[in-house]
Amino acid sequence: MGAVLCVADEELENTTARYGCYLGRPTGPDGPARVFDLAGARLIIVPESGLAALLPGERPAALPALVACTMAVRDLDTTGEFLLDNGIAAHRTPSGDLFVPAAGALGTAIVFH
């Protein structure tokens, strides 16, 4: 489980440093994003220019913005079938996770991994 925070490109390093102080944890890179491992959860901070690589088609309404929450599931295929059977469109991320776009999830994308 976790969250994805999108920030202006020029604010990535400052925001990452600030959250590092809040959380008392180091961060690691993941492509254009910075990731905090929170012992079972992750906080991903992504620059606006890198958001499409993480969640294709997503655009923040404003910056900074919590653009997604993530959930661990036992079986992505079963989750995808459940969503489809209930009329909910889901897409694959470049990493293979499923996500329901913000437009279909009341404003914030939901990522299943």
Number of domains in the chain: 1
3-state class (DSSP) for residue 82: helix
Tell me whether residue 12 is exposed, middle or buried, using C-beta atoms within 10 angstroms of its C-beta: 0 to 12, 13 to 18, 19 or more.
Answer: buried
Q: Tokens 């929450």 map to which residue?
A: 69
Confidence at 25, pLDDT banded by 50, 70, 90: very high
Range of the domain at 21: 2-112
Q: Averaged over 38-52, what is the pLDDT?
A: 95
Return the closest-CA partner of residue 36 out of 49, 51, 19. Answer: 19
87-108 pLDDT tens trace: 999 999 998 999 999 998 888 9
Instruction: Please answer whether residues 56 and 91 qualify as being in contact, where contact means their C-beta atoms are separated by less than 8 angstroms.
Output: yes
**CB-based burial, 60-91: b 16+ in 10 Å, e otherwise:** beeeebebbebeeeeeeeebbeebeeeeeebb
**Which CATH number fits the domain that encloses residue 72?**
3.10.180.10
pTM summary value: 0.89
